[in-house]
Chain A
Amino acid sequence: MKILVCVTSVPDTTAKISFTDGDTKFNKAGVTFITGPYDDYALSRAVELKEQTGGTLTVLNVGEVDSEQVIRKCLAIGADDAIRVNCEPKDSYFTAVQIATIAAQEKYDLILMGRESIDYNSGVVHGLVGEMLGIPSLSPIMKLEIDGTTAKMTREIEGGKEDIEANLPLVLGCQEPIAEWKIPNMRGIMTARTKPLRVVEPVGEDMTFTEKYMLPAPKGACKMILAENAEDLIGFLRSEAKVL
């Protein structure tokens, strides 16, 4: 089986978010970048599937040169090779075009990615790629088993989940508990250094343009209610906050 896993390089979940250049650029200073947590689930399941069924596992990142540390970590975890599309992924449509262009040439059986990136949270790239390739797309997938050319999956829906069967090829957006996150071992880290990483230039253009970034208005002080007067809360919610 030929598997592609698309990964993002995103600020650590605990990172303090701020902007520079008149609120037109993300401030990278002091921020640690990690593999997108959902992408990590996708990669971990892909490594398991490759162990079971054989084949190849490629990671793809649409990102600038500084995402190569994330790509190397994915190679250390078990991907065979990597492709980086050399541009800043600012627009879902544009990002999907990059993935679909490569996938149309390489004809993967399975394309996995996180359900969404944790920077832009769009959650639409898998669907865009699926339609661009003319194959089904499903997300968020929390369980994936491959039996020959059939995939059996569980997808989370509002208030529950559904079981799905479909033939490969497929594009899937993944989330927990599809697999346990894998940590690279020393041998993986050593071999990752020499695994092939191909850099290609992007095609097409952005369909959206981010004009300005903003931080939320600071939260007002928390109104503390003494435990013995806890019932007063209900009155405040009704008359003051007007949410009941």
Chain B
Amino acid sequence: MSVLIFTEIDNGALKKSSLEAVYYGSEVAKMKGTTATVLAIGTATDDELAKAGNFGASKVLHANDSRLANGNIQAYSDVLSLAVTQEGAETIILAMSSLGNAVAARVAAKLKASIVSNVTELPDFSNGIKVTRSIYTGKAFAKVEMRGEKQIIAVKKNAISVVESSNLAIVEPFTPTLKESDFAVKVTGTHKASGIVSLPEADLVVSAGRGLKGPENWSIVEDLANALGAATACSKPVSDLDWRPHHEHVGQTGIKVSPNLYIAAGISGAIQHLAGVNSSKVIVVINKDPEAPFFKAADYGIVGDVFDILPRLTKAVKAL
């Protein structure tokens, strides 16, 4: 009957997006008159995991099988569905991510559950279970009734404003029996940029486009991002030209972000780019062309030369 939240561990702690999902799940549990249980897979200390209580969870199930280190989708799906059975959970909550969505999908098939992704608000329980999701890459929303006996809700970043408490959760080991066939897929290498703010997790994003004229000029973008503690992103042409890696490309066919602040420098704002950023809370556009379509989607705009403006903004942030 409890609400179960699938979380991800990164560097020994629950990911920020997962903590948002924990808070969302705890609010759902309150609405249903039950408690929220977290499933955490990977290496983390009990003290660290108990902090899920700050976000409303009463219990954490900790699965720490060394074979689960690589984010194996099938194995994670089995662990989650076994946790659902143990807890008798009806509603499963998780944050959207490359791993979360993949696991949620397989678990939905195992449990014959309704599954909805990109959920942007708390559910409405007044008549059945209804959620609001973003569709058409942020250009519209839909109110969807979940008709399955079990429901899986994949939550978009910033769907809920988190309020932390000082409560701690009880941490219990969870040791499900895994099948050898769960490990048929082998991860043979991982290439991850280290020491940077992860783009889908970031609250603040500094993004740049062809207006930067070349990859050698990216230091002014990175300087502002570093000063703000922001992630860097880019437009599709920039990633197509190999100025920046594909995992920084935001837009219709790239990453969709919904940070608190999105600063776009030297990006004209093609509709395909806007599709990836239109759920950002605040958008700042810096462009030398006053006719750039991006200004229509912006909250703050500066018409000017990015090579002049960006270093000045960096200086102003450092002076705070």
How near does chain A come to B90, taking the closest CB pair, in angstroms?
A: 14
What's the Cα separation between A155 and B200 when bound, in Å?
Answer: 16
Q: Which residues of B contact A162 (CB under 8 A)?
A: 70, 187, 189-191
In this assembly, does B55 line the interface, its C-beta being within 8 Å of a C-beta of chain A?
no
Q: Which of A47-55, A65-73, A103-111, A223-231 contacts B (4 or more CB under 8 A)?
A: A223-231
Q: Which residues of B contact A142 (CB under 8 A)?
A: 246
Contacting pair A137 B136 (CB below 8 A): no
Chain A CB count within 10 A is highest, among B103, B113, B115, for B115
Chain A residues 130 to 167 lying within 8 A of chain B, measured CB to CB, are 130-132, 136-140, 142, 155-167
How near does chain A come to B320, taking the closest CB pair, in angstroms?
A: 7
What's the Cα separation between A166 and B107 when bound, in Å?
Answer: 20
- The contact string, 1 if C-beta is below 8 Å from chain B, for chain A 9-21, is 0010110010100
Q: Which residues of B contact A102 (CB under 8 A)?
A: none
Q: Which residues of B contact A227 (CB under 8 A)?
A: 302-305, 308-309
How near does chain B come to A140, taking the closest CB pair, in angstroms?
A: 7
Contacting pair A208 B301 (CB below 8 A): no
Contacting pair A222 B204 (CB below 8 A): no
In this assembly, does B228 line the interface, its C-beta being within 8 Å of a C-beta of chain A?
yes
In this assembly, does B68 line the interface, its C-beta being within 8 Å of a C-beta of chain A?
no
Q: Which residues of B contact A19 (CB under 8 A)?
A: 140
**Chain A count of residues within 8 A CB distance of the other chain:** 76
How near does chain B come to A42, taking the closest CB pair, in angstroms?
A: 13
Contacting pair A231 B312 (CB below 8 A): yes
Q: Which residue of B lies closest to A118 (CB)?
A: B137
Chain B residues 279 to 296 lying within 8 A of chain A, measured CB to CB, are 281-282, 284-285, 295-296
A223 and B186 in contact (CB under 8 A), knowing A38-B253, A124-B108, A156-B247? Answer: no
Interface residue from B115, B204, B313 paired with A233 (Cβ < 8 Å): B313
Interface residue from B199, B275, B284 paired with A13 (Cβ < 8 Å): B275
Chain A residues 176 to 213 lying within 8 A of chain B, measured CB to CB, are 176-177, 206-213
Chain A interface mostly: mixed
What's the Cα separation between A238 and B22 when bound, in Å?
Answer: 28
Q: Which residues of A contact B177 (CB under 8 A)?
A: none
Q: Which residues of A contact B110 (CB under 8 A)?
A: 131
What's the Cα separation between A213 and B193 when bound, in Å?
Answer: 39
The 10 A-B residue pairs whose C-beta atoms are closest, nearest first, are A127-B105, A227-B304, A131-B109, A160-B192, A124-B105, A163-B189, A131-B106, A231-B316, A207-B114, A243-B261
- The chain B residues found within 8 Å of chain A, CB to CB, are 70-71, 73-74, 77, 97-99, 101-110, 112-118, 130, 132, 134-148, 154, 184-193, 196, 198-201, 203-204, 228, 246-247, 252-253, 256, 260-261, 271-272, 275, 278, 281-282, 284-285, 295-305, 308-309, 312-313, 315-317, 320
List, sorted by A's number, 8 A–B pairs whose CB atoms are closer than 8 Å.
A131-B106, A137-B102, A158-B200, A165-B188, A208-B114, A208-B116, A216-B141, A231-B313
